Chains A and B, each alone.
Chain A
Amino acid sequence: MTSGYIAGINGSVIRVKGSRDFKMQEMVAVGKEKLIGEVISINGDGVIVQVYENTTGLRPGEPCVSKEKPMSCTLGPGIIGNIFDGIERPLKYINEKSGAFIARGIDAESLDGEREWDVRILAKTGEQCSEGSIIAEVQETSMVKFKLMIPNGVSGRIAEIKQDGKYKIKDVIAVIDCENGEKKEITLCQEWPIRIPRPVKGRKPISRPLITGQRVIDAILPVAKGGTAAIPGGFGTGKTMTQHQLAKWSDADIIVYIGCGERGNEMTQVLEDFSKLIDPRTGKPLMDRTVLIANTSNMPVAAREASIYTGVTLAEFYRDMGYHVAIMADSTSRWAEALREISGRLEEMPAEEGFPAYLSSRLSGFYERAGYMENLNGTEGSVTIIGAVSPQGSDFSEPVTQNTKRFVRCFWALDKNLAYSRHYPAIHWLNSYSEYIDDLNGWYEKNISPRFMTLRNSIMSILQEESKLMEIVKLIGSDVLPDEQKLILDIARVIRLGFLQQNAYHKDDTYVPLQKQFKMMETILLLRDEMEAVIKLGIPVSQVQNTDLIESVIKVKYNITNDDLSGFDRLNEKIRTVCAEIKSNNGFKRGV
């Protein structure tokens, strides 16, 4: 066993001497308390180790022993519904062991080794199997079926396999006669190094949206399954709130929520809320499809760096079973800051604003682990990554935002002024973009309506037009504008208040199905067309403004429930009738 001794300590970074046999990215047990660390740099006789726990009290000379394996995750049943820290230690277990405050050097297995799982065997003795083949399954939670896959590097003939029954994660389920003559025992759990992407057969084209039930996202700035998105925004603009909404309502099979350097209370809130909330599609508690990685801002900074990789490794594992997984990473800026802090302690040459020069390659490495994949076992699955970015001073030109922008295809810029007027989600429609619109066009045409994207584009052009007009309004007020332009301002207001703004605390408005989103757009544009027709006849726009049409379209989001969309036909009829009345009151016949 490789071992050395501690030579120097500086925060979470320690220098180890006494052996030349340490390997890069190997796990080590540091000091007498056996704190967990990882080798991050080797030079000459010295090795640099980052420690995932508080280093107070360590002394030079204490031992440092290699664990002979890279930093890895344990993958097996029991992950879903659980909460882990940045290096996959179970926080519930730690709570039982050390109380409300996290103690150091706790030796905790990631998954409960005593729990018995109901295993259903799918393969037979004598069958050939290869990497990723599914040989058994376990009902892990009410929503997720865990599939036992042959670990990577193993393929051959099944020599022995157990019967259906109850097994613990370390029990041997099958024995494989490998092609190279070795015998491999397969248990319910396996390990995988967190910094290496799990292999796949290939990438598939992106073609399906991740449906979130949030109008500004689904209809205006959609993200695809297997896609990447960033949510940048200053403090108080609602990044976390948006992430929570996505974690609650998006139609992924599994959600991996990474709280990276954020508030402890937020993680508690997710834990409490998600256990109570019911998934609208399956009727089961949301926690049954969610796994939380919590490395709050006061937990050791090195583990914060690892938490992102732990999260994405768990996601890839479930993708390999054929699931659609979505990762919410809140916030990637804290992760970048952890990189900066460690880099600073290593006395590396900084690039922009003290961040290391490898910031951009690390970011791209992370976001590229997203994708819609064909797995080794032939199933299809996807990993979608949605990362929050907390730009310093709300300045989007800072390095983390800029580098993130290069590697994501969906950019949901949160706007301070929208947040100040409590317009949530505060995603600014003009500063944001989605590159998936063309990829997803076909899906929307086929599944919702051929006109979906046309309507979306009309809505966007009205908003575009409004922002130009607002420049003028700021100088001279809106009263002097011609009626055509007043109409645009009115409709844009309907879009902003009635469509883009969404109330996360309203039972119907918190999640809106695509059909309703489409109907809402249709109604708004019908109102525009009808009002336009009125104005074209020379009737002042104020006559329409004085009716309750505009208000009733704005309130549609509350007044028409998600399960009964027939109200739209009545409302559309009302719009037509009222406008026709206005025309006839002004001496124009019906049908003009």
Chain B
Amino acid sequence: MAVEYMGLSKIEGPLVVLDGVKNASYEEMVEITAEGGEHKWGRIIEVYEDKAVIQVFEGTSGISLTNTKTKLTGKPLEIQLSKEMLGRIFDGIGRPIDGLGDIYPDEMRDINGSPINPVARRYPNNFIQTGISSIDCLNTLIRGQKLPIFSGNGLPHDNLAVQIVRQATLSNGEDDNFAIVFAAMGIKHDVETYFRRSFEESGVLQKVVMFLNLADDPVVERIVTPRCALTAAEYLAFKHNMQVLVIMTDMTSYAEALREISSSKGEIPSRKGYPGYLYSDLASMFERAGIIEGSEGSITQIPILTMPNDDITHPIPDLTGYITEGQIVLDRSLFLKSIYPPVMALSSLSRLMKDGIGEGFTREDHAVLSNQLFSSYARVGDARALASVIGEDELGAIDKLYMKFGREFEEKFIAQGKNENRSIENTLDLGWSLLGILPESELDRVDEATLKKYYKPKEG
């Protein structure tokens, strides 16, 4: 039944058009043999009667209109799955590249997955302690959450991601059944090496599945890399009940690859040339995080994206923020003050935090404290704006205290060492000691009982 077609009718960028095909199905995989005998994989992205538009994964170089053979496989893109994947390295479309041979698949799955039925989801409320104050206290990470890092070029997002991987522990201590799925899309070789070395140093390499599509790999493969990774994650989480942390970097390269393919297909662009379906496309990946009924496992996603020109309103961070459950925003001005991690507290957010903190999860005062820190730190901005006009010396007494609070908050609370692992209690106590700088009348988010228990004003 495997009919081979000779020749193509058109080649454009990563796309080729094949005429006269019979029985081609939408999103089916095809095998292309170029003139020199080189094999390539492609996927049908549009069919009209006997014409099929094929996206070629390894790029179209070397393909000619004549003498190119195309074979339909009859199946959508599937990857091989098995528990053996842990500790292995795959390319962007799920083929092993670490020289250790093929894996013996337990099952094959379509990389596109299916949407999770909202009825079958369990609402995530299990606190993950990362040991990083700016995350634990202000933007708590919850198991089953999708919490991206919005970063800029040159900012230490990779260090932060590695620190999270190294330090993340669950509040109830069930740690051994975890796995990390790492999807690299268009990142530099150095970055890949950095991640691999860090996984090795922290002794988790045997728990990591890596899917690599590096900066010089074919762009078209980049579209399927995160989907392969998430299919592997779903397999590990929901079939083998593992706690899976998925790190996807860099989503910006992914979106750019999508734009490149969309424009070569001649689609009508929306904002900044990105296709109109960018939102749906990103959502089809981010929504694969979560916890479902009937399985002990979970998928927590930490996608990393670099905001072009540090612009949070750029379509990529903008649409991502609408899908994900919060965001951790890294800020260049904090970075220039040598503050690591340069987490911009005000624009960062964790939407699931409210249900995973407080008594029974972290500590009763957590919610109030983080609320008050946010609100006080927002006030610092006003004081600073004023100081930049009239000078700090001219500020009123309260505003001066705010200036002091702002400095200490950034230097003592936000900033911490790359290997410093603070327990949640330490973090919360630190927060209260900073609030001690401010007079009681300024703490308008705290009820009296909590105030009495935790607030200790500093003299002078």
CB distance from A222 to the nearest CB of B (A): 26
B123 partner residues in chain A, CB cutoff 8 A: 265, 268-269, 272
Work out how many contacts link A and B, with CB atoms closer than 8 A: 222
CB distance from B100 to the nearest CB of A (A): 31
| B315 in contact with A393 (CB, 8 Å) | yes
User: Measured between alpha carbons, how far is A261 from B76 in the docked complex, in Å?
Assistant: 25
> Which stretch, A224-232, A291-299, A378-386, touches the partner chain B?
A291-299
A478 partner residues in chain B, CB cutoff 8 A: 396
| B313 in contact with A394 (CB, 8 Å) | yes
B346 in the interface, Cβ–Cβ < 8 Å? yes
User: Measured between alpha carbons, how far is A476 from B388 in the docked complex, in Å?
Assistant: 11
Taking a contact as CB atoms closer than 8 A, the residue among A10, A299, A301, A417 that contacts B46 in the complex is A10
A236 in the interface, Cβ–Cβ < 8 Å? yes
B14 partner residues in chain A, CB cutoff 8 A: none
Taking a contact as CB atoms closer than 8 A, the residue among A259, A334, A475, A479 that contacts B396 in the complex is A479
Q: Which residue of B lies closest to A470 (CB)?
A: B382
User: Measured between alpha carbons, how far is A350 from B276 in the docked complex, in Å?
Assistant: 11
B188 in the interface, Cβ–Cβ < 8 Å? no
The proximity string for A residues 373-396 relative to B, scoring 1 for CB distances below 8 Å and 0 otherwise, is 000000000000000001011110
User: Measured between alpha carbons, how far is A234 from B320 in the docked complex, in Å?
Assistant: 12
A54 in the interface, Cβ–Cβ < 8 Å? yes
A236 partner residues in chain B, CB cutoff 8 A: 321, 326-327, 347, 349, 351
| A95 in contact with B270 (CB, 8 Å) | no
A460 in the interface, Cβ–Cβ < 8 Å? no
| B47 in contact with A56 (CB, 8 Å) | no
Q: Which residue of B lies closest to A550 (CB)?
A: B441
Q: Which residue of A lies closest to B371 (CB)?
A: A422
User: Measured between alpha carbons, how far is A469 from B315 in the docked complex, in Å?
Assistant: 36
The proximity string for A residues 58-86 relative to B, scoring 1 for CB distances below 8 Å and 0 otherwise, is 11110000000000000000000001000
A40 in the interface, Cβ–Cβ < 8 Å? no
A140 in the interface, Cβ–Cβ < 8 Å? no
| A264 in contact with B116 (CB, 8 Å) | yes
Instruction: Say yes or no: A267-B118 contact (C-beta < 8 A), given A57-B26, A100-B293, A100-B294.
Output: yes
| B444 in contact with A271 (CB, 8 Å) | no
CB distance from A316 to the nearest CB of B (A): 24
Instruction: Say yes or no: A54-B112 contact (C-beta < 8 A), given A95-B120, A236-B321.
Output: yes
> Which stretch, B245-253, B284-292, B417-425, touches the partner chain A?
B284-292
Q: Which of B266-306 contact A (CB under 8 A)?
A: 267-271, 275-277, 279-280, 283-284, 286-288, 290, 292-295
B119 partner residues in chain A, CB cutoff 8 A: 83, 91-92, 94-95, 268, 271
A102 in the interface, Cβ–Cβ < 8 Å? yes
Taking a contact as CB atoms closer than 8 A, the residue among B48, B355, B378 that contacts A15 in the complex is B48
Chain A, interface SS category: mixed
| B76 in contact with A354 (CB, 8 Å) | no
B318 partner residues in chain A, CB cutoff 8 A: 234-235, 392-394
B97 partner residues in chain A, CB cutoff 8 A: none
| A8 in contact with B47 (CB, 8 Å) | yes
| B121 in contact with A265 (CB, 8 Å) | yes
User: Measured between alpha carbons, how far is A338 from B281 in the docked complex, in Å?
Assistant: 12
Taking a contact as CB atoms closer than 8 A, the residue among B50, B271, B347, B367 that contacts A353 in the complex is B271
Taking a contact as CB atoms closer than 8 A, the residue among A98, A101, A353 that contacts B113 in the complex is A101
Taking a contact as CB atoms closer than 8 A, the residue among B26, B116, B367 that contacts A59 in the complex is B26
| A7 in contact with B277 (CB, 8 Å) | no
B120 partner residues in chain A, CB cutoff 8 A: 95, 99-101
Instruction: Say yes or no: A264-B290 contact (C-beta < 8 A), given A57-B27, A101-B113, A505-B354.
Output: yes
A91 partner residues in chain B, CB cutoff 8 A: 117-119
User: Measured between alpha carbons, how far is A350 from B268 in the docked complex, in Å?
Assistant: 8
User: Measured between alpha carbons, how far is A512 from B313 in the docked complex, in Å?
Assistant: 36
A24 in the interface, Cβ–Cβ < 8 Å? no
B375 in the interface, Cβ–Cβ < 8 Å? yes
The proximity string for B residues 318-351 relative to A, scoring 1 for CB distances below 8 Å and 0 otherwise, is 1101110111000000000000000000110101
| B117 in contact with A95 (CB, 8 Å) | yes
B121 partner residues in chain A, CB cutoff 8 A: 100, 264-265, 267-268
A526 in the interface, Cβ–Cβ < 8 Å? no
> Which stretch, A318-326, A339-347, A403-411, A430-438, touches the partner chain B?
A339-347
A281 in the interface, Cβ–Cβ < 8 Å? no
Size of the chain A interface, CB-CB below 8 angstroms: 78
| B112 in contact with A56 (CB, 8 Å) | yes
B59 in the interface, Cβ–Cβ < 8 Å? no
A297 partner residues in chain B, CB cutoff 8 A: 279-280, 283-284, 286-287, 323
A554 partner residues in chain B, CB cutoff 8 A: 444
| A296 in contact with B118 (CB, 8 Å) | yes
| A474 in contact with B386 (CB, 8 Å) | yes
Q: Which residue of B lies closest to A270 (CB)?
A: B118
| A9 in contact with B26 (CB, 8 Å) | yes
B197 partner residues in chain A, CB cutoff 8 A: none
CB distance from B47 to the nearest CB of A (A): 5
A88 in the interface, Cβ–Cβ < 8 Å? no
B98 in the interface, Cβ–Cβ < 8 Å? no
Q: Which of A252-277 contact B (CB under 8 A)?
A: 259, 261, 263-265, 267-269, 271-272
A118 in the interface, Cβ–Cβ < 8 Å? no
Size of the chain B interface, CB-CB below 8 angstroms: 85
User: Measured between alpha carbons, how far is A441 from B458 in the docked complex, in Å?
Assistant: 51
Q: Which residue of A lies closest to B373 (CB)?
A: A422
B441 partner residues in chain A, CB cutoff 8 A: 551
Instruction: Say yes or no: A268-B48 contact (C-beta < 8 A), given A347-B268, A420-B378, A477-B390.
Output: no
Among A57, A91, A417, find the residue whose CB has the most chain B CB atoms closer than 10 A.
A57
| A263 in contact with B287 (CB, 8 Å) | yes
B399 in the interface, Cβ–Cβ < 8 Å? yes
Q: Which of B121-139 contact A (CB under 8 A)?
A: 121-124
Instruction: Say yes or no: A298-B277 contact (C-beta < 8 A), given A9-B46, A59-B25.
Output: no
User: Measured between alpha carbons, how far is A475 from B388 in the docked complex, in Å?
Assistant: 9
Among B24, B26, B124, B396, find the residue whose CB has the most chain A CB atoms closer than 10 A.
B26
CB distance from B307 to the nearest CB of A (A): 12
User: Measured between alpha carbons, how far is A337 from B315 in the docked complex, in Å?
Assistant: 13
| A235 in contact with B322 (CB, 8 Å) | yes
Instruction: Say yes or no: A395-B389 contact (C-beta < 8 A), given A8-B48, A101-B113, A263-B287.
Output: no
A366 in the interface, Cβ–Cβ < 8 Å? no
CB distance from A62 to the nearest CB of B (A): 9
User: Measured between alpha carbons, how far is A505 from B371 in the docked complex, in Å?
Assistant: 12
A566 in the interface, Cβ–Cβ < 8 Å? no
Instruction: Say yes or no: A344-B115 contact (C-beta < 8 A), given A297-B323, A420-B374.
Output: no
| B110 in contact with A94 (CB, 8 Å) | no
B447 partner residues in chain A, CB cutoff 8 A: 558
User: Measured between alpha carbons, how far is A97 from B122 in the docked complex, in Å?
Assistant: 18
Q: Which of B348-362 contact A (CB under 8 A)?
A: 349, 351-352, 354-355
User: Measured between alpha carbons, how far is A385 from B35 in the docked complex, in Å?
Assistant: 61
Q: Which residue of A lies closest to B21 (CB)?
A: A60
CB distance from A43 to the nearest CB of B (A): 15
User: Measured between alpha carbons, how far is A475 from B387 in the docked complex, in Å?
Assistant: 9
B238 partner residues in chain A, CB cutoff 8 A: 100
| A7 in contact with B49 (CB, 8 Å) | yes
| B276 in contact with A392 (CB, 8 Å) | no
Q: Which residue of A lies closest to B145 (CB)?
A: A265
B28 in the interface, Cβ–Cβ < 8 Å? yes
Instruction: Say yes or no: A60-B115 contact (C-beta < 8 A), given A298-B288, A390-B322, A477-B386.
Output: no
A420 partner residues in chain B, CB cutoff 8 A: 346-347, 374, 378
The proximity string for B residues 15-38 relative to A, scoring 1 for CB distances below 8 Å and 0 otherwise, is 000000001111110000000000
The proximity string for A residues 25-62 relative to B, scoring 1 for CB distances below 8 Å and 0 otherwise, is 00000000000000000000000000000111111110
| B374 in contact with A354 (CB, 8 Å) | no
| B280 in contact with A57 (CB, 8 Å) | no
6 CB contacts below 8 A, A to B, read: A56-B26, A103-B114, A341-B276, A344-B270, A473-B386, A477-B394
Can you list the 9 inter-chain pairs with the closest CB atoms, starting with the nearest?
A297-B283, A8-B48, A421-B378, A393-B313, A354-B270, A235-B321, A100-B120, A298-B287, A101-B114
Extra pairs beyond A7-B49, A102-B116 (8, CB < 8 Å): A8-B47, A55-B26, A59-B47, A102-B117, A236-B321, A296-B283, A344-B270, A421-B374
